[in-house]
């Protein structure tokens, strides 16, 4: 008896009630569809009140440009397919786009083009963005159903519903599924590709080969990390040829069985070559079969000179015309950027990341009930398999090979990666882990008595956690990290603060009466790409990731409300900051720039000692950044007075507190 055929009376005795039986039915599909619908609804209602996140402006602009102008050099590093998919609701809407001869468009400056497309050309961006998000949220529902189908083949209907429930309640999925980005779609195609490749390695037919090829092509068009599927397929091929059964080959209405390992290897190599060629053609088709170059030769010479081997490989492929030039440029750009990026973890700063970054994010951003179910699944599977005959135990373990292989390979690469900017990069791991968690449904049959109440309670608590976290799923942290209120002390960037709460800040300021005459002055340092002017925020602007202040002159810092994005609070992207620390060298730099800025401001723009206005602006800009870094160093030592969506922290400061935070301290001179 396989796990998939375990009677429901033995596995699912803890699912009482007529409503439950009606939802579960014989095959579990009614409940699975309800869970998928709930996932979509939670995701889209949570994001509907949020401003655009950091990357959405680039993804949606590029996708619309692909469809309407063939501008494939816009944002190619982030996946052609998800950007096209997200832009579908905009087609036929009459949106204005920048003219074809626009210099920013010609140079591929997607942030400049996106700013105008979103906020300056009069497009009704709010309803259009909501439509795109509603479409993207279907990736979350699709993932729930894929998890259900795969888990049911292993553990039966009860186990499939355990897996689907955990997936539907996953805060990481609920946060990322509705966003106009590539993360949730990459999770869908990673799971689909692993499953379809594994199926093709056992049954070779037109349907299995074509479906696997399409999945692989879609994966490589979705995210540049798709190359991780290559070692997974290699390992699965070894497992298949070394320990799998005979290979079934279906051609037309006949079938035959291949038994000899050498012939099986030849057939497998042939179908994998066919899959590769199909994916290659899909990539060319997605880029309009264009063979020209959108980037100058100097750019490609610089790419070829990079120490990253994959960049040199991309340059060689571009030189020989093996793939579309924008695709190769996007791949090379992504590989170079992943080598060094500013990262934050528990008060520490690094440009190379930490091996413990993703294990830590998994620990603090996964609901604790999910860990209970995973532990129960491991215990139940070990007990259940131990009581089976060895040959059956081995066969069941063999069926888990694709999931285990993917978890090990993907998780291993994540641990060694330098790109530690967001927990979202672990999203493809969750579906595989939750399918394995379906083994928890075996617990009653494995004579684990406590499972009859532990399992339903854990699933109920998972659902409760997702409801409590609504609508701030991106800022979700479990109690191990102190909850979302203390999340900014643990992680920033897209693990918490992706610019999504600017609209929420506008509502809070209006509801609190802080936009009325006579209200305290509001200062804002924002990490994101949403427009202050578009959202009607009249705050005094402090430095942010994208400068939106009209003047380089530093504003006077007085008593008032200081609204600081969590990422900016930790000094991650302040040019003159050394991350979330304030050192003696930071203090010396502050004193130096303060004196220079005072001199420049005293002389005025026309009589500045610096004849070059560009140099003058650079000094003033540097002082604004180091001044904010010093202020944030003081604010990090106190609790915020209010939090907007847990990503924008609000501090009420008196003039004395501002002066104390900016008070210069002469650093100690090193002794000779």
The Cα–Cα gap between 617 and 600 comes to 10
Q: Which of 439, 359, 405, 374 is nearest to 193 (CA)?
A: 405
Each residue of 96-151: pLDDT tens digit? 999 999 999 999 999 999 999 999 999 999 999 999 999 999 999 999 999 999 99
Strand 203-204 vs strand 247-251: parallel, antiparallel, or unpaired?
parallel
Q: Are residues 158 and 300 in the same domain?
A: yes
CA atoms lying within 13 Å on the CB side of residue 37: 6
Please state, rounded to an integer, the average pLDDT across all residues of the chain: 90
* Residue 61 and residue 34 share a domain: no
Is the domain of 262 the same as that of 345? yes
Angle at 661 between CA 660 and CA 666, to 5 degrees: 80
Q: What is the pLDDT of residue 638?
A: 95
Structure confidence by residue, pLDDT tens digits, 412-466: 999 998 889 999 999 999 999 999 999 999 876 656 667 778 999 999 999 999 9
Q: pLDDT (tens digit, 9 = 90+) per residue, 462-471? A: 999 999 999 9
Q: How far is CA 405 from CA 371, 381, 398, in A?
A: 20, 18, 11
Residues 448 and 567 in one domain: no
CA nearest neighbour of 228 among 495, 426, 435, 437: 426
Dihedral angle computed from the Cα positions of residues 251, 253, 254 and 257, in that order, rounded to the nearest 10 degrees: 60
Q: Do 458 and 572 lie in a common domain?
A: no
Radius of gyration for the chain, computed over Cα atoms and rounded to the nearest angstrom: 27
Strand partners, 204: 249
Asked, for residue 314, whether it belongs to a domain, the answer is: yes
Both 310 and 344 in one domain: the answer is yes
- Residue 572 has phi, psi (to 5 degrees) of -70, -35
Helix (H) or strand (E) holding 251: strand 247-251
What predicted TM-score, i.e. pTM, was given to this entire model?
A: 0.92
540: in domain: yes
Q: How far apart are CA 475 and CA 469, in angstroms?
A: 8
Closest by Cα among 252, 237, 240 to 206: 252
Q: Average pLDDT, stretch 44-55? A: 97
Q: In the predicted model, what is the mean pLDDT of residues 278-298?
A: 90
Same domain, 176 and 119: no
Q: Which of 156, 29, 53, 80 is nearest to 647 (CA)?
A: 53
Three-state SS at 271:
helix
Domain that holds residue 241: 3-46+137-464
- Assigned domain for 471 exists: no
Domain endpoint, select from 136, 171, 193: 136
- Taking alpha carbons only, the member of 638, 636, 602, 643 closest to residue 620 is 602
The span from the CA of 363 to the CA of 199, in Å, is: 32
pLDDT band for position 23 (cuts 50, 70, 90)? low
Q: Which one of 136, 159, 186 terminates a domain?
A: 136
Whether residues 395 and 318 share a domain: the answer is yes
Q: Do 392 and 423 fall within a single domain?
A: yes
Task: State whether 253 and 281 are in the same domain.
Answer: yes
């Amino acid at each position: 008896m396989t796990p998939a055929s375990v009677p429901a009376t033995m596995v699912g005795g803890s699912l009482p009630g007529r409503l439950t039986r009606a939802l579960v039915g014989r095959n579990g599909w009614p409940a699975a569809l309800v869970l998928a619908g709930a996932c979509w609804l939670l995701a889209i209602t949570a994001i509907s009140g949020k401003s655009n996140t950091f990357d959405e402006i680039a993804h949606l602009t590029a996708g619309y440009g692909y469809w309407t102008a063939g501008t494939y050099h816009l944002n190619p590093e982030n996946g052609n397919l998800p950007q096209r998919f997200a832009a579908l609701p905009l087609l036929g809407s009459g949106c204005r786009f920048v003219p074809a001869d626009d210099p920013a468009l010609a140079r591929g400056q997607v942030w400049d083009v996106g700013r105008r497309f979103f906020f300056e050309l009069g497009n009704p961006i709010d309803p259009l963005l909501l439509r795109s998000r509603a479409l993207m949220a279907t990736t979350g529902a699709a993932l729930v159903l894929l998890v259900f189908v795969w888990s049911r083949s292993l553990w039966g209907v009860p186990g499939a519903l355990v897996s689907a429930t955990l997936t539907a309640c996953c805060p990481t999925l609920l946060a990322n599924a509705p966003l106009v980005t590539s993360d949730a779609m990459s999770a869908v195609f990673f799971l689909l590709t692993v499953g379809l490749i594994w199926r093709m390695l056992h049954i070779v037919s037109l349907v299995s080969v074509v479906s696997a090829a399409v999945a692989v092509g879609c994966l490589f068009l979705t995210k540049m990390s798709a190359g991780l599927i290559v070692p997974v397929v290699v390992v699965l091929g070894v497992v298949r040829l070394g320990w799998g059964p005979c290979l079934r080959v279906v051609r037309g209405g006949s079938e035959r069985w291949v038994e000899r390992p050498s012939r099986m290897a030849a057939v497998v190599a042939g179908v994998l070559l066919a899959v590769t060629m199909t994916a290659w053609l899909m990539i060319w088709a997605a880029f309009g079969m264009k063979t020209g170059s959108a980037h100058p030769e100097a750019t490609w010479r610089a790419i070829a000179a990079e120490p990253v081997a994959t960049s040199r490989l991309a340059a060689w492929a571009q030189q020989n015309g093996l793939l579309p030039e924008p695709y190769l440029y996007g791949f090379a750009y992504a590989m170079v950027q992943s080598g060094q990026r500013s990262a934050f973890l528990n008060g520490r700063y690094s440009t190379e990341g930490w091996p413990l970054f993703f294990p830590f994010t998994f620990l603090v951003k996964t609901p604790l009930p999910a860990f209970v179910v995973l532990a129960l699944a491991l215990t139940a599977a070990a007990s259940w398999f131990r009581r089976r005959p060895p040959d059956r135990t081995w066969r069941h373990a063999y069926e888990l090979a694709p999931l285990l292989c993917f978890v090990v390979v993907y998780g291993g690469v994540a641990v060694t990666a330098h790109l530690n900017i967001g927990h979202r990069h672990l999203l493809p791991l969750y579906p595989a882990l939750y399918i394995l968690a379906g083994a928890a449904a075996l617990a009653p049959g494995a004579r684990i008595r406590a499972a009859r109440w532990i399992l339903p309670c854990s699933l109920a608590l998972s659902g409760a956690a997702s409801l409590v976290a609504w609508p701030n799923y991106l800022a979700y942290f479990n109690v191990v990290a102190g909850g979302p209120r203390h999340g900014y002390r643990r992680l920033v960037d897209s693990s918490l603060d992706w610019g999504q709460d600017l609209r929420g800040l506008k509502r809070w300021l209006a509801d609190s009466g802080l936009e009325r005459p006579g209200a305290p002055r509001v200062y804002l340092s924002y990490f994101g790409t949403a427009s202050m002017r578009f959202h009607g925020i009249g705050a005094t602007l402090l430095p942010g990731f994208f400068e939106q202040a009209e003047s380089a002159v530093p504003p006077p810092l007085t008593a008032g409300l200081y609204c600081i994005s969590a990422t900016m609070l930790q000094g991650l992207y302040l040019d003159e900051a050394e991350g979330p620390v304030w050192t003696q060298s930071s203090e010396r730099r502050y004193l130096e720039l303060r004196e220079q800025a005072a001199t420049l401001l005293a002389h005025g723009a026309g009589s500045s000692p610096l004849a070059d206005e560009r140099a003058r602006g650079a000094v003033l800009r540097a002082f604004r950044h180091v001044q904010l870094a010093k202020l944030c160093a003081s604010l990090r030592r106190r609790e915020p007075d209010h939090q907007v969506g847990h990503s924008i922290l609000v501090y009420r400061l008196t003039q004395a507190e501002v002066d104390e935070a900016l008070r210069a301290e002469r650093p100690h001179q090193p002794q000779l």
